[in-house]
Amino acid sequence: MKKKRKRNFIILFLLVILSFLLLLNDTLTHEKDKKTYNISIITAGKNSESLMIMKQGMDQAASEMNANISFVTLSEDNSVVEQTELISREIKNKADAIIISPIDYEKMAEPIQSAIKMLPVILIESTVKSDQVLSSISCDNYKLGVSLAEEMILNGNINSNIVIVKNNLECSSVKERYDGFMSVMENTKNNCIFLNVSDNKQVTYHNEAKKLLEYNNVDAIATFDPDILEGVAQAKKDISNIKKEKASVQIYGTGSTSKIISFLEDKVIDATAIQNEFNIGYLAVKTAVYKINGKTVDNVNISSTVINTKNMYSEENQKLLFPFIR
């Protein structure tokens, strides 16, 4: 009887101690709950201005979700080899997740596929060829191209000579924009002239554009790359100082660097299609953190708008074009 009671007492005591330890453990782990995530972002090109807005979105998400962000840029634009190397380097550096803007729809497919097996990979802006459902954050690039083309038609280009600058079509986002643009153009009587630019240097863009403007009878130019847009716009501005008639050449493109905006304000560029890059950055990091924790995220559509000189200071577009500088 006495022995039994003693044993009961000891068992009870042990239970109390155990519960105390559990409680303590609970409190301690509660503090540790805030884990930091290392997320690497591999961009498609050199650190250009358009990336700054996206980076702000990423920073915002990172500060909210306690993530460490390392921004990795390529030393030269559109280098498949370099981007592949960077993926393996970041995996080696023990990143928890990788956010990547793939530069080639086909060539980047294989390295990204193999990376997905090791850690969450989130694609931004462009995608790669894959049977799997990849988590990608981008706007509807096809629709963006369509909108840009429609804006062009709205501005009276029904029977015009339009130069379309083709560049970097291996990248899915550019390709989709191009496809969207062309789907509208095919239904018009516009005469499309294609110009292939392969070299990646800003000066080349400028010179090629100058040549194009000077010697051809061009009514409008369309491009799907911010850098080329800047080059073309600069060329137009330079030439129109000499030849006034060239000022009527319309320029359409994508991107929202401050240079593009100022060209837009000066009516050098007629319209630019922009996507909400802040959101892309924010959602990419958010998705990455969710994926690390094994949660699922709904695919969110990123809005895109075509902005022209008139509507650029509207309440909505103002917020889209000029993010707060923190």
Partner 1 sequence: MQNLIKLNIQKIVKRCKDTSIQHIISVSFTVISVVGMIIVGGALSLRFINSTEDLVSENNKSMLDQVNLNLDSYLRNMMKVSDTTYYSVIKKKDLATESIDKDMDLLYETNKDSLISICVFAEQGDVVSASPVGQLKKSVDPRQSDWFTKALTRKENLHFSTPHVQNLFIDPDYKYRWVVSLSRAVELTNNKKITSGVLLVDINFSGIEQICKNVNVGKSGYVYLVDGEGEIIYHPRQQLIYSNLIEENNKVVANYEDGNHTETFQGEKRVVTIKTVGYTGWKIVGVMPIADITSDYNQISLFAIFIMFFAIFILVFLNMFVSSRIANPIKALEKSVNKLENGVKDVDISISGSYEIQHLGKAIRSMVNQMHTLMDNIVLEQESKRKSELDALQAQINPHFLYNTLDSIIWMIENENYDGAIIMVTALARLFRISLSKGKNIITVKDEIEHARNYLTIQNIRYKNKFTYSIEADEETLNLASIKLIIQPLIENAIYHGMEFMGGDGEILVKAYIKENDLYIDVIDNGLGMIQEVADTLLTTESKIEKKSSGIGLKNVNERIQLYFGKSYGVKIYSEPDEGTTISIHLPGVNYYDIKKKEELG
Does 73 bind partner 1 (CB under 8 A)? Our answer is: no
Identity of the residue, 27 or 198, whose beta carbon is nearer to partner 1 in the bound complex: 27
| Spatial CA neighbour of 152 closest among 252, 297, 53, 228 | 252
Does 98 bind partner 1 (CB under 8 A)? Our answer is: no
Identity of the residue, 205 or 263, whose beta carbon is nearer to partner 1 in the bound complex: 263
Distance CA 175, CA 304 (A): 16
| Spatial CA neighbour of 201 closest among 77, 43, 52 | 77
Does 265 bind partner 1 (CB under 8 A)? Our answer is: yes
| Spatial CA neighbour of 124 closest among 75, 176, 173, 53 | 173
Q: With contacts defined by CB under 8 A, how many residues of the chain interact with partner 1?
A: 37
Strand stretches in the chain, DSSP E: 37-42, 67-72, 97-100, 121-124, 136-137, 161-166, 191-196, 220-223, 250-254, 271-275, 304-308
Stretch that binds partner 1, among 35-43, 97-105, 148-156, 262-270 (CB under 8 A): 262-270
Does 322 bind partner 1 (CB under 8 A)? Our answer is: yes
Identity of the residue, 52 or 182, whose beta carbon is nearer to partner 1 in the bound complex: 52
Distance CA 269, CA 152 (A): 12
Neighbours of 292 (CB within 10 A): 18
Interacting residue with partner 1 among 10, 11, 14, 16 (CB under 8 A): 16
Does 324 bind partner 1 (CB under 8 A)? Our answer is: yes
Identity of the residue, 30 or 94, whose beta carbon is nearer to partner 1 in the bound complex: 30
**What residues between 271 and 290 interact with partner 1 by CB under 8 A?**
276, 278-279, 282-283
Does 23 bind partner 1 (CB under 8 A)? Our answer is: yes
Closest separation in Å from C-beta 326 to partner 1: 8
Stretch that binds partner 1, among 25-33, 88-96, 130-138, 178-186 (CB under 8 A): 25-33
Distance CA 131, CA 174 (A): 21
Closest separation in Å from C-beta 322 to partner 1: 5
Does 323 bind partner 1 (CB under 8 A)? Our answer is: yes
Length of the chain: 326
Does 303 bind partner 1 (CB under 8 A)? Our answer is: yes
Interacting residue with partner 1 among 60, 136, 167, 168 (CB under 8 A): 60
Distance CA 145, CA 159 (A): 19
Is residue 81 within 8 A of residue 74, CB to CB? The reply is no
**What residues between 27 and 46 interact with partner 1 by CB under 8 A?**
27, 30
**Strand duo 304-308 + 271-275: pairing:** antiparallel
Is residue 102 within 8 A of residue 172, CB to CB? The reply is yes
Binding residues for partner 1, rule: CB under 8 A, are: 9, 12-13, 16, 19-20, 23, 26-27, 30, 56-57, 60, 64, 258-259, 261-262, 265-267, 276, 278-279, 282-283, 303, 309, 313, 318-325
